[in-house]
Amino acid sequence: MMKLSTPFSIACLAAALLMPFPARAQLSFPSLPGAGNLAVQAAAKQLAPYVEQNQPVILDWKAIYPTVPVLPGAAFHPTKSLRVQSALEAAVARQLHNSTTGTVLLPPGDYAIPVRLFCTDIHRHANSPFIYLLGPLRGSRAGLLTRLYANAATVLPPTFDMQSLSWDMQAGMSYPQLGVAQQALYNRLLPGESGLIAQNFLSMVRDRWNTISGTIPGVPSFDGAIGQMGATGATIETLQSAQNEIIADAGNFDALRSALVLGPLGTPDSNIMDTPWSVPSARVYLRVLTEGAFMSIGLLEIRVVAPDRARVPITSNISYPPACLQCQPLTMHPLRGDQPQPALPQSVGVFAR
């Protein structure tokens, strides 16, 4: 065996140490099966809290107000006077105008307010009738939707336009991405505030991913990694699909509705008059009754218990159907007496008059 001289060996070793090689290669995950997934999982773990904190609407069937099966005290008895009811609906709309909380101040008593209901999730079933339980509307755009619905109580916009705008907000669309009708409605409901939605949610997530991936070697591009991100990736894919469908069907509500709303799962066997009462705060009881689904008219029944007036959440609520986790939750804005009223059972609230 040939022996290398000591000077030659030292020279070869020095040359090897001085050879350049890429800095990222020094720290990359080993070239083994699943190594790429490890890098994606590490990055996705950092991305997940950002997505959770900033997703437009957070849906949680467990995040509901406490409920009671029956009201305390006497039976529910709202006014049957058309004059008093009309004044009530007008007063609610006035209080909600420019409200940031979506609440109204009501004295002790029983109230029944007609409301327009809107689909508040993508790719869920539209079943009816169903029992709904109320909870707080949550997410990075919950406050924005609360304000849009609050001002819609005065404007009473076309239902199709309002549902489309609501879907745009839920999907995290930016103002420049809105259709012409939705931009016009947004400007009417929140004039001069287009800057609130200057950024697209998915663009924000992509930027965050790019920042994170710069610190973890071996991470693929955002688009290449989505399918490996687990639950976080599923959330991103759902919103990405919704945005693509909204853009593709711009100006065609029927096509958009077909793309975003799944058909009924079957005919539910629910008696809406058995709906429990939600208790958002002490002395306030609420329930929403409807025989329809999204874009239908329902009834928000309210009891405020003596002795004082109380804050009642209206447009800051979301309604979950507890019997159907695959069915769409609903948000709402109040209507007024000059609008057509729904054909609900004769025993339901103000419509029994």
H-type helices in the chain, by residue range?
Answer: 6-18, 23-27, 35-54, 82-96, 142-155, 159-170, 180-189, 201-213, 222-225, 231-248, 253-260
Would residue 215 count as lying in a domain?
Answer: no
**When comparing pLDDT for 262 and 19, which is higher?**
262
Q: What is the pLDDT at residue 265?
A: 83
* Count: domains in the chain: 1
**Is the confidence at residue 349, as pLDDT, over 90?**
no
Our CA angle for 276, 280, 284, nearest 5°, is 80
Measured between alpha carbons, how far is 107 from 40 in angstroms, rounded to an integer?
A: 55
Give the three-class secondary structure for 306. Answer: coil
Q: What is the pLDDT at residue 1?
A: 39
**Is the confidence at residue 18, as pLDDT, over 50?**
no
What is the rounded average pLDDT of the residues 90-100? 97
Q: What is the pLDDT at residue 184?
A: 97
Q: What is the pLDDT at residue 3?
A: 39
* pTM recorded for the entire structure: 0.85
Would residue 79 count as lying in a domain?
Answer: yes
Confidence of residue 6 (pLDDT cuts 50, 70, 90): very low
Would residue 242 count as lying in a domain?
Answer: no
pLDDT digits (tens, 9 = 90+) for 25-56: 333 333 334 445 899 999 999 999 999 999 99
* Mean pLDDT, rounded, of the chain: 87
**Is the confidence at residue 86, as pLDDT, over 60?**
yes
Would residue 206 count as lying in a domain?
Answer: no
Q: What is the pLDDT at residue 268?
A: 75
pLDDT digits (tens, 9 = 90+) for 249-291: 999 999 999 999 998 887 776 799 999 999 999 999 999 999 9
Q: What is the pLDDT at residue 96?
A: 98
Burial readout 202-229 (b: 16 or more C-beta within 10 A, e: otherwise):
bebbbebbeebbeebbbbeebeebbeeb
Counting residues of the chain whose pLDDT is more than 90, the rounded percentage is 79
Confidence of residue 136 (pLDDT cuts 50, 70, 90): very high
Q: What is the pLDDT at residue 36?
A: 54
**When comparing pLDDT for 344 and 147, which is higher?**
147
Would residue 41 count as lying in a domain?
Answer: no
Mutual angle of helices 142-155 and 82-96, in 10-degree steps: 140
**Is the confidence at residue 24, as pLDDT, over 90?**
no
**Is the confidence at residue 233, as pLDDT, over 60?**
yes
Would residue 21 count as lying in a domain?
Answer: no
What is the rounded average pLDDT of the residues 108-126? 96
Would residue 192 count as lying in a domain?
Answer: no
Question: Positive or negative, the Cα torsion across 274, 280, 283, 287?
Answer: negative
**Is the confidence at residue 150, as pLDDT, over 80?**
yes
**Is the confidence at residue 23, as pLDDT, over 80?**
no
Would residue 313 count as lying in a domain?
Answer: yes
pLDDT digits (tens, 9 = 90+) for 177-207: 999 999 999 999 999 999 999 999 999 999 9
pLDDT digits (tens, 9 = 90+) for 324-339: 999 999 999 999 865 4
In DSSP terms, 320 is beta-bridged to 133
Structural domain of residue 337, as residue ranges? 61-159+250-352
